[in-house]
Amino acid sequence: MRIPGPLAVVVGCGIGLWLFSPAPAGSVQAETKQQVERDLRRAIAEGRTDAAVALYGRLVPPGKPDDISLLRDLARAVITGHVRDPQEHLRIAAYMTLAETAERSMIPLFEDGLLDASVMVRARAAEGLARAGAAAPALARALDDPAPSVRIAALNALGRNADASLRPLITRLSKSEEGVLHIFALSALVRLGQADAFDDIAGEATLPDAELRMAALGALGQLKRPAGLPILSQSVYDPDPSVRAFAAGALGEFGSPKGEPALLHALEDESPRVRGVAAASLGRLKLAQSLPVLRQAARDPVEMARVGAVEGLLRLGDNEAVLLAADLAKHPDPSIRGATAQAVALAGNRKALLVVESLLKDQQPQPRLMAARALGKLGGREAPSLLKQTLSDSDPAIRIAAAGSLIKLLTAK
């Protein structure tokens, strides 16, 4: 318990101000603070998070140093209070946020999430188990799920977990599963050191099925093997625009300067989505010579393509991109405003923090949601204060996002 230092209570009365010294430690003020903290902890334990947020504001007024442990407990309670919410989208939001924070203490909740009726919840629970470092048997249970998307999420998570004891199970799945599931199993095997599985993924990248080509390209981008780069570069010429967009995104994920020519070609694509993804990926390569073409891309007639160009410019530290982001943040379409907040977050450029701060006050929920998530990636001195305020947002999904961002920032301290 922190005991406050000397304070002064200022009371205005007509023509003057009277200053009163505080009562000594152990008096009513100290007892009141202790009672507020007790009430706060009780509210957290009982899941009354609205009351808990208000009590924390009384305990730690604006401008005062945060109680890191207590604030983390409060933020965690805001999220976990929705893991059994009757509204599916809030359960999904809660588990997605918990998976991103990846706290080991949440492993039992992730295990419970595998039993949820929602396919999306179960998929996010599987991801959370891997990120939090759960034992392999818990993740393996998700591989028996009847929904393909849950099995895909589990395979991807198992690959990141890199537990060699799971190789026999994944090998069996790579032979028994078909389509996208097969590709994810192969990708997990590559991460576990089975090099020949990479050749099978490369072969999938040229199959007639566009969905399989996209899955294979995504895997090649994540694996970052040199042999995958020519395949990704060639795929920006694919007849399907969705595949071309995947290829452009995978080239950014791959991160090799050798991917620049393919991305420059993609910047001229007829599809705005491809152009936008290519511009963002070009920024990920961190090549100074990309500035002129990205500035040109920032004048694209389609707003979403411009958002990608702004992300690319922000990644390169271009100061003009902050002004471009501020302009997009005023666009009448809330999806454009939300995408702008996401672009700033992905770029990690704190010079555009004021853009995100403005979107926290947006009239529509989507921009506020993306801004709350963005602050968890951007950080900065003012971010915790802004996120604490957002814990009182009228939309519970936004409160969940703000709580997750707070946990990330508090964990990093």
- Over range 27-37, report the average pLDDT: 72
**Predicted confidence (pLDDT) at residue 26 exceeds the cutoff of 60:** no
pTM: 0.88
**Predicted confidence (pLDDT) at residue 139 exceeds the cutoff of 90:** no
| pLDDT, tens only, 334-366 | 999 999 999 999 999 999 999 999 999 999 999
**Predicted confidence (pLDDT) at residue 161 exceeds the cutoff of 60:** no
> Does a structural domain hold residue 235?
no
> Does a structural domain hold residue 149?
no
Q: List Cα–Cα distances, 376 to 225, 319, 326, in angstroms.
A: 30, 22, 19
Q: How far apart are the first and last CA of the chain?
A: 20
Domain encompassing residue 401: 334-413
Which has the closest alpha carbon to 180: 154, 213, 157? 213
| Percent of all residues in the chain with a pLDDT value above 90, rounded to a whole number | 77
What distance in Å separates the CA atoms of residue 356 and residue 342, rounded to the nearest whole number? 9
> Does a structural domain hold residue 394?
yes
CATH classification at residue 401:
1.25.10.10
pLDDT tier at 180, thresholds 50, 70, 90: very high
Within a 10 A sphere around the Cβ of 161, how many other Cβ atoms?
20
Q: State the angle between helix axes of 396-412 and 365-378 in degrees (0 to 180), rounded to the nearest 10.
A: 10
**Predicted confidence (pLDDT) at residue 15 exceeds the cutoff of 60:** no
> Does a structural domain hold residue 199?
no
> Does a structural domain hold residue 165?
no
pLDDT of res. 5:
41
| pLDDT, tens only, 190-247 | 998 899 999 999 999 999 999 999 999 999 999 999 999 999 999 999 999 999 999 9
Q: List Cα–Cα distances, 407 to 77, 322, 381, 400, in angstroms.
A: 11, 27, 15, 11
Task: Give residue 348's region: left, alpha or beta (phi > 0; psi -120 to 50).
Answer: left
Instruction: Give the number of C-alpha atoms closer than 13 A to the C-alpha of residue 206, restricted to the C-beta side.
Output: 9
| pLDDT, tens only, 302-334 | 999 999 999 999 999 999 999 999 999 999 999
Reduced 3-state DSSP string for the chain:
CCCCCCCCEEEEECCEEEEECCCCCCCHHHHHHHHHHHHHHHHHHCCCHHHHHHHHHHHCCCCCCCCHHHHHHHHHHHHHCCCCCCCHHHHHHHHHHHHHHCCHHHHHHHHHHCCCCCHHHHHHHHHHHHHCCCCHHHHHHHCCCCCHHHHHHHHHHHHHHCCHHHHHHHHHHHHHCCHHHHHHHHHHHHHCCCCHHHHHHHHHCCCCCHHHHHHHHHHHHHHCCHHHHHHHHHHCCCCCHHHHHHHHHHHHHHCCHHHHHHHHHHCCCCCHHHHHHHHHHHHHCCCHHHHHHHHHHCCCCCHHHHHHHHHHHHHCCCCHHHHHHHHHCCCCCHHHHHHHHHHHHHHCCHHHHHHHHHHCCCCCHHHHHHHHHHHHHHCCCCHHHHHHHHCCCCCHHHHHHHHHHHHHHHHHC
CB 49 within 8 A of CB 26: no
What is the count of structural domains for the chain? 1
> Does a structural domain hold residue 313?
no
> Does a structural domain hold residue 158?
no
> Does a structural domain hold residue 106?
no
